[in-house]
Amino acid sequence: NKASSTGSAGSCRATAAVVTATAAVVTATAAAVGSPQRQRASSAAPGAGDDGDSMNLAAAVAAAGIPLLPAAMAVLRSGAGDVSVDPQQYHVGDKIPGRRGAKLFIQNAGTGDWEQRSKSCHDCQEQHIHYKCKEKGCKGASVCNMCLVNRYHGLHSLADLHTRCPVCRGECTCRACLRKADPAQLLPPPIYDQQQRHGFGASTL
C-alpha cells in the first residue's frame, strides 16, 4: 500500500545517508593517517611491476621473457579422451584453455613415457603449466601467470615472481595461505580498478 511504500522509501534514504556518512569518515581517516592499502607503482615498464594495469597478459608474459614449452608430442587429457596439441603454444605458467580440468601430458622422447606437465594453480586451482621458482627450498607451489599478473601488479614483476614465487615471499593471497598467516604480518590488499576486478572472474577471493 501507499503508506508501506512511503515508509520503505524513507528507510532506504536513511540507509543511504548512513552509508555515505560512513564512507566520508573512512575517507577522512585514511587521509589523516595515510592509506593502509598497497599502492600501485607510479610508473613502470610492462613486466616491471605494474603488469595488471592493462590486463594484457600476453604483453606481460612477453615482457618478462617467460619461455615457451619445447617441441614434443603432447596431449590434453580429460574424461572426454585425449586431444593432440602443440606444446609450443604454451608459456611456462600459462593456463590450459578449452576443456576445463584437462591436463597436459608430454611424451618423453627418451623413454616414451607420458609425463604430466600441468597442475592446479596454487591460487585459482585451474590447470596451468607448472614450474618451481628459483628460490632454494621452494616446494613448487606454482601460481599461474594470470593470477600473478592480476594479484601482484605494482608489487613485483612477472619475471621476479617466477624467480621467487608469492609463497616463498610470504605474500600469497590464496585462501589456504591467508588462513595460516599471522594477521600482524599480512600486507594490506592492493588497490584494484573496475577492469582488474572484472578480470578476476571466478578466481577472486
* One-letter-per-residue 3-state SS of 124-175: CCCEEECCCCCCCCCCCCCCCHHHHHHHCCCCCCHHHHHHCCHHHHCCCCCH
d(CA 131, CA 129): 7
Give per-10-residue mean pLDDT for the chain (205 aa).
50 50 39 35 36 63 92 91 92 86 91 93 91 83 90 86 89 83 63 62 48
Q: Is 64 helix (H, G, I), strand (E, B) or coil?
A: helix
Q: Is 128 helix (H, G, I), strand (E, B) or coil?
A: strand
d(CA 138, CA 22): 44
Question: What pLDDT sits at residue 159?
Answer: 92
Question: What pLDDT sits at residue 127?
Answer: 94
* Burial track 58-81 (b if 16+ CB lie within 10 A, e otherwise): eebbebbebeebeeeebbbbbeee
**Residue labelled with grid coordinates 615472481:** 161
